Amino acid sequence: MRVRFTKMHGNGNDFILVDEFKGVVVVEERKPEFVRAVCHRYFGIGADGMLFVQKSDVADVRFRYFNSDGSEAEMCGNGIRCFSRYVVEEGYAESPLKVETLAGILELEVTRDDEGWWVRVDMGRPRLEKEEIPSLEEVWGKEFEFDGRRFRVYALNTGVPHAVIFVDDLDFNIIPAAKHIRHHSVFPEGINVNFARVIDAKTVRVRTYERGVENETLSCGTGSVAVAVVANRLGLTGRSVDVLTKGGKLKIEIADDTVYMTGQASRVADGYINTEELRYDLP
């Protein structure tokens, strides 16, 4: 069996997209193992996650996102930009479009100019209550200690759970400390971890460790939103901020009841997966 795929990325956060708009391609019970095999960087195509395009009864189209470990997530900021570009480019919907996600229905605007494709996402209301994150206790300025170093952590949900930590210097190995916080017992479903440095009132630099990928990624849309929201609430930045990730820039705008994210979406390859060649007994 051959499965048609599209390879896309948002600021280097890369995805394999499988189009199921006209019918099921990968049966539900096999999706996790299929995702793990295809996303493997040595035995598959390689990606941070997989997107499935499906029909929706409540919006223009339904967004499904799986991390590279096969776990399904509620949302992915970079992923939904790539997804929306594909949907508009293939003619399944026109911009602005409404997309059904596990985090709710989101509205997006897709445009194109000389620099490429741009997508503006209404990311909805950040959720700050511990039950909404979820966390077992209030984590807003709570100190976590790891390897003799203290980190002041702010937790919130911007589609998926995120921890935000401001540091003076990002030039260090974030992974050990990020893993410690990601798996901390206070977060029953785990959490993504963002280390950020404020450059000025309009600019923040960020590095993100993503749950499900279990590594640092080049960019994280929901993480960039989380950093911008926390920075604004702490008075470190204004309502409009450029978030600089390793993969590129995202523009975050904070309104009274929602947050908007604007960034590019790139489509780098289309092809076919030879499913009989996939390796499922991954090391």
User: Alpha-carbon distance 108 to 128, whole Å?
Assistant: 23
**How far apart are alpha carbons 10 and 139 in whole angstroms?**
29
HEC string of 17-84?
Answer: EEECCCCCCCCHHHHHHHHHHHHCCCCCCCCCEEEEEECCCCCCEEEEEEECCCCEECCCHHHHHHHH
Amino acid at 241: V
Q: What does the pLDDT average to over 134-151?
A: 96
Using one digit for the tens of pLDDT, what is the confidence trace for 36-65? 999 999 999 999 999 999 999 999 999 999
Judge whether residue 261 has pLDDT over 90. Answer: yes
Query: pLDDT for 81-97, tens place per residue?
Result: 999 999 999 999 999 99
Domain spans in the chain, listed from the N-terminal domain onward: 2-120+265-277, 140-257
Hey, what CATH class is 140-257 in? alpha beta
Say how many Å lie between the first and final Cα of the chain, rounded: 24
Task: Inform me whether the pLDDT recorded for 8 exceeds 90.
Answer: yes
pLDDT in tens, 65-83: 999 999 999 999 999 999 9
Instruction: Please give the single-letter amino acid code of residue 204.
Output: V
Give the catalytic positions in this structure: 76, 220
- Binding-site entries for substrate: 13, 67, 77-78, 192, 210-211, 221-222
The annotated binding site is made up of 13, 67, 77-78, 192, 210-211, 221-222
Is residue 171 predicted with pLDDT exceeding 90? yes
Beta-bridge partners for 244: 205, 249
Identical fold, 2-120+265-277 and 140-257: yes
CATH topology of domain 2-120+265-277: Diaminopimelate Epimerase; Chain A, domain 1 (3.10.310)
Residue 128 CA to residue 133 CA, distance in Å, equals 7
